[in-house]
């Protein structure tokens, strides 16, 4: 019994560990974020503008519902990191000269704050510092207002604004190529001609204030100063990303918890039911001694509860440990100063209740069957069980089978329900395992389509301001540049009725070959002269289909508003946005032939030289390399998902092992006598094992194809229930996912089979001669 | 094998098994149980021997060791000159497979196989078997070939078990209380089957019973008590099975 109890406990442990890990990681991250926001006074409303006098702050503060106001100077910069050729962009953010920021507080990790008035001292964000191994005392060269300035790094800091440190307009973090620098207000304002002024404002709201009306008032106040439109926390880039990730994490957690607890409960019910069935004789003896049905039931329930308790305890330990590890992994990407990770008691309670109830239900069902038999009858020699020829033999296999194989077939077909349940359990575990590895395939597919078919450029160069097409010729003249394709990118708010979404429209040429939008056949979409293409997600968010009108409110320049028609829907797995023809976009902007950047195909060997030339070009605001993007994709999104799914796969393997081992042990208990008789008749250990394990082997093999089907359905369900605003997961299952799931199922089955085989080797032949069933 | 058997049957006195100083001590918890206390004995070719004795006298232990199912604590057993007590587990399996037929008190048929298939289980792995039909005909079950155990009476099930035991043409047939679970009338039919096998095939037969009446059909009666041979009696005339009642 010890081995079986252990295997059942293992199934319970695996199921509850998955649940406890998933739920607690989510809870930890969202609780940590909440506390961090409170502690560092994360702003509620944000706005950027061209320049406003500091005196405006008092008028903003007077707006009803505003609790506090923090004005800042914020600027884009290029950073030159020693020994790092790739172009690095940065964000310079001012901190008050001699006071704590009222909003978006700075948490100093190392070093000290810059001294007031010093124009050569900066704080850097921890993610950036860690990526480059920067320490207080190191020096950096920063391009500020067209002039390189050497600054000294005096401290490393965190801010609730940059928990997810990501460059504006990007969808993946790149800690190496994007960093945040904090400088005191006075020197930064001086460099950008912002003395007595500001270009960025943060608002903290009083409790109960209505953010919409505050934003409306704020927009009115900032309008004369080039305000780009206020936005709430929900649209703040780091917060928004975290929301998306947390939402996905929560859904993944509940999805997997549901699947795992469900499968565990099912298996427990089946396995424990069969286990109690093998105890029929003991139950009869207990009844003969005068034990009542309730007492007997309670005895088995107690036994099972001990196993459940043991399993849940182990699962809690394992889940807490894995969850802790997973949270730490997240902490590399979400920059929190602390982590509030704890195991919530209610998760343990839920795991205990679900597994406990399933186990008790299975136990009581089996006990009820066992006690129904009068004790005398149960102790009399049982009549041989009734068998019939199996349907396989009836359709013509009869002559070709040896007796052991015949026994296997008849055994399976005699109890079709039991055989089906065993196979169903194995199929479920196989399906869940596929779900674990499916993500690898999906990630690869996303990369292949996005970076192999849609965005094929080696480099993307963007300029500070819209530039004339001449820049394209200049880029083409650089050594090592093979091909240049211009683009125009314009920040925009798209509106349809009450729905709106802030994004940007990317304009490119209809004959583009490097960077283009694809249709759902993965063919380049024909770019209409007028009209806009929307990614599927964006069309969904706005609730539009091809042919519908959309209002586009441009968020730069003269900020025109236009009605445009949705000309098509783009199949895009990574990112969200809108596309237009370059000419069409420029016509809408009424700005002539302007471009905001270009996609380049370059000679990889000459890349560092190209980077250097680009760094020396004042117009160039940023350069993004496609391989860095790929690396970031795998480092961020893929790493979490794959680690998480790795845990899921391992736990599924534990479940397969648990179910096959238990089925084998129960089969051994049910048929030990028969097998020992055959040993007496001269069957070898191997031949006898074949009869016992052949049945399980056959059931395992039969379970794999439906397991594949189940895995596919689960993956499809996962894709459908896990919408991420910025990522769409394609439903692709490669052959290796099927192969791996099958291999693990077979390996887990084989290992449990080998362990049971040990017991077959020690069947007591002597006992068989004397005892009846 | 069958040539050897014929040769042995004509000579009549060749020992199939030689048992010397056979001792078996079981450890039941902390209590030592002396099942056999140094037994010396021989079984002869073609002979039917009854092992008679009360429960716990050691007769089953003796049969198990001879049948290659158990190993003694001390002493030796030779089967046709081969030392069974020194044989490996693998050799013992092969020995049971080719040379020994077992009949159990509780039949131990495979419930999922028909009468014919229960016999085939053994004939498929033996080197020189008779056909399953032949074996079942010998025990009078030609009409029940395709019945499953659940469709057969206790006596019929035991006759299937005898057919299964003899189908491999074993050198020795070991029967442990073959009628123990049967009523007298049915039991006699089973004994007739054993008698016929012994007579027609010349199979050396050892028959455990605690029923003195049954022992009348044997050539020789070995009475065991408390792990010793208490008495060996040779029946001058074997009673035929249908004359036996209990």
Task: State ipTM.
Answer: 0.86
Instruction: Give per-residue pLDDT as tens, B7-62.
Output: 444 344 678 999 999 999 988 778 888 999 999 999 999 999 999 998 888 988 99
Helices (H) and strands (E) in chain B, counts: 7, 10
Kindly tell me if the per-residue pLDDT of A378 is higher than 80. no
Lowest mean pLDDT among A66-75, A256-265, A355-364, B126-135: A256-265
DSSP track, A552-621: EEE-STT--EEEEEEEEEE--SB---EEEEHHHHHHHHT-SSEEEEEEEEE-GGGHHHHHHHHHT-TTEE
Cross-chain residue pair A387–B125, CB shorter than 8 Å: no
**To which H or E segment does residue A420 belong?**
helix A416-447
Q: Is A147 on the interface with B (CB under 8 A)?
A: no
Cross-chain residue pair B113–A387, CB shorter than 8 Å: yes
For residue B3, what pLDDT is reported?
Answer: 41
For residue A1, what pLDDT is reported?
Answer: 62
From CA A193, how far away is CA B208, in angstroms rounded? 114
Neighbours of A406 (CB within 10 A): 24
Read off the pLDDT band of A204 (50, 70, 90): very high
Instruction: Give per-residue pLDDT as tens, B178-237.
Output: 888 788 888 898 899 889 889 888 899 999 988 888 989 999 999 999 999 999 999 988
Kindly tell me if the per-residue pLDDT of B1 is higher than 60. no
Read off the pLDDT band of A696 (50, 70, 90): confident
Specify which of A13-27, A253-267, A277-291 reaches the highest per-range mean pLDDT: A13-27
Cβ atoms of B96 and A680 closer than 8 Å = yes
For residue A168, what pLDDT is reported?
Answer: 79
For residue B8, what pLDDT is reported?
Answer: 41
Kindly tell me if the per-residue pLDDT of A202 is higher than 90. yes
Kindly tell me if the per-residue pLDDT of A768 is higher than 70. no
**Minimal-distance CA residue of chain A relative to B153:** A383
Backbone dihedral region of A336: left (phi > 0), alpha (psi from -120 to 50 degrees) or beta?
Answer: beta
**Minimal-distance CA residue of chain B relative to A410:** B112
**Minimal-distance CA residue of chain B relative to A769:** B104
From CA A96, how far away is CA A116, in angstroms rounded? 8
Task: Kindly state the tokens that stand for B66.
Answer: 């001879």
Q: Which residues of chain B have a CB within 8 Å of the CB of A679?
A: 93
Q: What is the 3-state secondary structure (H, E, C) of A665-713?
A: HHHHHHHHHHHHHHHHCCCCHHHHHHHHHHHHHHHHHHHHHHHHHHHHH
Q: Is A773 on the interface with B (CB under 8 A)?
A: yes
Kindly tell me if the per-residue pLDDT of A385 is higher than 80. no
Cβ atoms of A441 and A734 closer than 8 Å = yes
Q: Is A397 on the interface with B (CB under 8 A)?
A: no
From CA B69, how far away is CA B161, in angstroms rounded? 18
Instruction: Give per-residue pLDDT as tens, A358-370.
Output: 888 878 887 787 7
**To which H or E segment does residue B82 belong?**
strand B82-83
Task: Kindly state the tokens that stand for B173.
Answer: 């047939």
Answer with the residue of higher pLDDT: B214 or A264.
B214
pLDDT above 70 covers a percentage of chain A that reads: 96
Phi, psi values for residue B49, rounded to 5°: -115, 135
Measure Cα distances from B50 to A766, B10, B55, B233 in Å: 20, 21, 15, 10
Q: Is A406 on the interface with B (CB under 8 A)?
A: yes
Read off the pLDDT band of B4 (50, 70, 90): very low
Query: CA of A392, closest CA in chain B: separation in Å?
Result: 14
Q: Give the distance from CA B115 to its chain's centroid.
A: 20
Beta bridge partners of A500: A495
Q: Which residues of chain B have a CB within 8 Å of the CB of A384?
A: 109, 111, 148-150, 157
Q: Is A762 on the interface with B (CB under 8 A)?
A: no
Q: Which residues of chain B have a CB within 8 Å of the CB of A404?
A: 121
Task: Kindly state the tokens that stand for A529.
Answer: 């002269």
CA A319, A320, A321, A326 torsion: positive or negative?
Answer: positive
DSSP SS3 for A371: helix
Beta bridge partners of A107: A158
**Minimal-distance CA residue of chain B relative to A768:** B108
Measure Cα distances from A165 to A264, A597, A622 in Å: 39, 23, 16
In CATH terms, the fold of domain B45-71+91-243 is Rossmann fold (3.40.50)
State the average pLDDT over residues A727-745. Answer: 88
From CA A626, how far away is CA A159, in angstroms rounded? 28
From CA B239, how far away is CA A492, in angstroms rounded? 112
For residue B7, what pLDDT is reported?
Answer: 40
Q: List chain A domain ranges.
A: 1-38+238-380, 44-69+201-235, 74-193, 481-602
Measure Cα distances from A685 to A697, A698, B66, B119, B125 in Å: 17, 19, 20, 20, 14
From CA A23, how far away is CA A323, in angstroms rounded? 9
Q: Within 13 A of A156's CA, how many CA atoms are on the CB side?
A: 18
Chosen for mutation from B71, B105, B111, B174 (greatest number of chain A CBs closer than 10 Å) is: B111
Kindly tell me if the per-residue pLDDT of A264 is higher than 80. no
Q: Which residues of chain B have a CB within 8 Å of the CB of A681?
A: 96-97, 102, 121-122, 164
State the average pLDDT over residues A388-412. Answer: 77
Cross-chain residue pair B105–A770, CB shorter than 8 Å: yes
For residue B120, what pLDDT is reported?
Answer: 92
CA A448, A449, A450, A456 torsion: positive or negative?
Answer: positive
Q: What is the mean pLDDT of chain B?
A: 88
From CA A663, how far away is CA B93, in angstroms rounded? 27
Helices (H) and strands (E) in chain A, counts: 22, 20
Kindly tell me if the per-residue pLDDT of B243 is higher than 70. yes
Cβ atoms of B238 and B217 closer than 8 Å = yes
Beta bridge partners of B42: B18
From CA B44, how far away is CA A456, in angstroms rounded? 92
Instruction: Give per-residue pLDDT as tens, A88-127.
Output: 889 999 999 888 899 999 999 999 999 988 889 999 999 9
Lowest mean pLDDT among A71-80, A434-443, A502-511: A434-443
Tell the residue number behind the tokens 């802790």, with chain if given. A324
Return the DSSP state at A381. Answer: P
Instruction: Give per-residue pLDDT as tens, A305-318.
Output: 898 999 999 999 99
Lowest mean pLDDT among A169-173, B4-8, B22-26: B4-8
Return the DSSP state at A515. Answer: B
From CA A103, how far away is CA B89, in angstroms rounded? 82
From CA A454, how far away is CA B58, in angstroms rounded? 86
Q: What is the mean pLDDT of chain A?
A: 86
For residue A91, what pLDDT is reported?
Answer: 93
Cβ atoms of A600 and A460 closer than 8 Å = yes
Task: Kindly state the tokens that stand for A235.
Answer: 């649209």
Q: List chain B domain ranges.
A: 45-71+91-243
Q: Is A680 on the interface with B (CB under 8 A)?
A: yes
- Among A383, A411, A681, the residue with its CB nearest the CB of B102 is A681
Kindly tell me if the per-residue pLDDT of A211 is higher than 90. yes
Q: Is B69 on the interface with A (CB under 8 A)?
A: yes
- Among A402, A674, A682, the residue with its CB nearest the CB of B110 is A674
Cβ atoms of A513 and A476 closer than 8 Å = no
Measure Cα distances from A417 to A178, A420, A421, A753 in Å: 60, 5, 6, 22
């Amino acid at each position: 019994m010890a081995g079986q109890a252990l295997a059942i406990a293992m199934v319970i442990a695996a199921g509850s560990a998955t649940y406890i890990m998933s739920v607690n990681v989510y809870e930890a991250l969202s609780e940590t974020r909440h506390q961090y926001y409170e502690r560092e006074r994360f702003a509620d409303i944000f706005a950027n503008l061209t320049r406003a006098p500091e005196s405006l702050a008092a008028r903003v503060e007077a707006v009803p519902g505003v609790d506090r106001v923090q004005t800042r100077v914020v600027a884009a910069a290029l950073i030159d990191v020693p020994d790092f050729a790739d172009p690095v962009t940065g964000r310079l953010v001012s901190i008050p000269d001699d006071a704590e920021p009222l909003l978006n507080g700075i948490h100093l990790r190392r070093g000290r704050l810059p001294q007031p008035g010093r124009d050569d001292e900066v704080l850097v964000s921890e993610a950036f510092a860690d990526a480059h191994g920067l320490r207080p005392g190191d020096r950096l060269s920063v391009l500020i207002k067209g002039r390189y300035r050497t600054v000294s790094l005096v401290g490393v800091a965190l801010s609730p604004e940059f928990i997810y440190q990501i460059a504006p307009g990007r969808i993946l973090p790149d800690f190496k190529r994007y960093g945040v620098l904090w400088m005191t207000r006075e020197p930064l304002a001086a460099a950008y001609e912002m003395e007595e002024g500001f270009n960025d404002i943060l608002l903290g709201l009083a409790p109960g204030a209505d953010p919409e009306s505050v934003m409306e008032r704020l927009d009115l106040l900032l309008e004369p100063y080039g305000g780009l439109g206020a936005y709430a926390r929900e649209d703040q880039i780091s917060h928004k990303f975290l929301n998306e990730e947390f939402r996905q994490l929560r859904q993944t957690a509940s999805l997997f918890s549901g699947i795992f607890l469900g499968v565990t409960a099912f298996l427990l019910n089946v396995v424990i039911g069969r286990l109690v069935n093998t105890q029929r004789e003991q139950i009869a003896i207990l009844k003969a001694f005068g034990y009542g049905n309730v007492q007997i039931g309670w005895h088995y329930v107690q036994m099972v509860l001990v196993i459940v308790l043991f399993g849940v305890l182990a699962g809690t330990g394992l889940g807490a440990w894995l969850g802790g590890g997973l949270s730490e992994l997240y902490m590399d990407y979400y920059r929190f100063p602390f982590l509030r990770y704890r195991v919530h008691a209610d998760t343990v309670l839920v795991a205990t209740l679900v597994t406990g109830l399933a186990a008790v239900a299975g136990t009581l069902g089996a006990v009820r069957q066992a006690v129904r038999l009068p004790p005398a009858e149960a102790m009399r020699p049982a009549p041989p069980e009734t068998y019939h020829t199996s349907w396989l033999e009836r359709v013509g296999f009869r002559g070709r089978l040896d007796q052991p194989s015949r026994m296997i077939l008849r055994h399976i077909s005699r109890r079709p329900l039991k055989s089906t349940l065993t196979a169903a359990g194995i199929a479920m575990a196989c399906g869940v395992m596929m779900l674990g590895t499916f993500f690898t395939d999906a990630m690869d597919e996303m990369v292949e389509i996005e970076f192999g078919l849609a965005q094929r450029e080696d480099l993307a160069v963007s300029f500070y301001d819209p530039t004339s097409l001449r820049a394209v010729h200049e880029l083409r003249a650089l050594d090592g540049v093979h091909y240049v394709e211009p683009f125009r990118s314009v920040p925009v708010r798209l509106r349809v009725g009450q729905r709106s979404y802030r994004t940007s429209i990317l304009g490119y040429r209809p004959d583009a070959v490097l960077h283009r939008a694809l249709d759902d056949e993965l063919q380049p979409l024909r770019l209409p002269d007028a009209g806009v293409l929307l990614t599927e997600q964006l069309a969904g968010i706005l609730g539009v289909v091809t042919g519908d009108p959309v209002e586009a409110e441009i968020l730069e320049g003269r900020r025109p508003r236009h009605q445009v028609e949705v000309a098509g829907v783009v199949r895009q797995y990574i990112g969200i946005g809108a596309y237009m023809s370059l000419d069409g976009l420029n016509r809408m902007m009424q700005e002539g032939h302007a471009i905001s950047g270009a996609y380049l195909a370059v000679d990889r060997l000459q890349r560092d030289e190209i980077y250097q030339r680009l760094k020396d070009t004042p117009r160039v605001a940023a350069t993004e390399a496609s391989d860095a993007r790929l690396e970031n994709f795998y480092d961020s999104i893929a790493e979490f998902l794959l680690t998480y799914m790795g845990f899921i796969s391992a736990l599924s393997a534990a479940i397969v092992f648990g179910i096959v081992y238990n089925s084998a042990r129960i089969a051994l208990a049910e048929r030990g006598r028969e097998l020992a008789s055959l040993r007496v008749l001269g069957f070898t250990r191997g031949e006898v094992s074949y009869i016992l394990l052949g049945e399980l082997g056959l059931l395992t093999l039969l379970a794999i194809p439906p397991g594949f089907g189940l895995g596919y359905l689960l993956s499809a369900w996962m894709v459908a229930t896990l919408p991420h605003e910025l990522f769409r997961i394609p439903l692709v299952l490669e052959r290796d996912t099927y192969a791996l799931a099958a291999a693990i199922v077979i390996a887990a089955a084989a290992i449990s089979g080998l362990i049971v085989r040990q017991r077959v080797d020690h069947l007591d032949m002597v006992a068989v001669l004397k005892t009846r069933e | 094998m069958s040539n050897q058997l014929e040769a042995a049957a004509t000579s009549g006195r060749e020992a199939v098994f030689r048992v010397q100083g056979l001792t078996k001590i079981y450890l039941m918890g902390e209590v030592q149980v002396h099942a056999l206390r140094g037994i010396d004995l021989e079984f002869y070719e073609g002979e039917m021997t009854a092992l008679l004795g009360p429960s716990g006298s050691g007769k089953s232990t003796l049969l198990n060791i001879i049948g290659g199912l158990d190993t003694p604590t001390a002493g030796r057993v030779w089967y046709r000159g081969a030392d069974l007590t020194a044989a490996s587990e693998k050799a013992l399996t092969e020995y049971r497979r080719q040379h020994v037929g077992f009949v159990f008190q509780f039949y131990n048929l495979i419930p999922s196989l028909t009468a014919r298939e229960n016999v085939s289980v053994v004939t498929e792995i033996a080197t020189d078997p008779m056909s399953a039909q032949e074996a079942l005909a010998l025990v009078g079950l030609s009409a029940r070939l395709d019945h499953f155990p659940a469709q057969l009476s206790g006596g019929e099930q035991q006759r299937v078990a005898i057919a299964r035991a003899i189908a491999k043409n074993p050198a020795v047939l070991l029967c442990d209380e073959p009628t123990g679970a049967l009523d007298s009338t049915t039991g006699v039919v089973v004994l007739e089957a054993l008698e016929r096998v012994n007579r027609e095939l010349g199979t050396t037969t050892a028959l455990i019973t605690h029923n003195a009446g049954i022992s009348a059909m044997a050539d020789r009666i070995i009475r065991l008590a408390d792990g010793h041979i208490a008495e060996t009696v040779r029946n001058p005339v074997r009673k035929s099975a249908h004359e036996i009642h209990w």
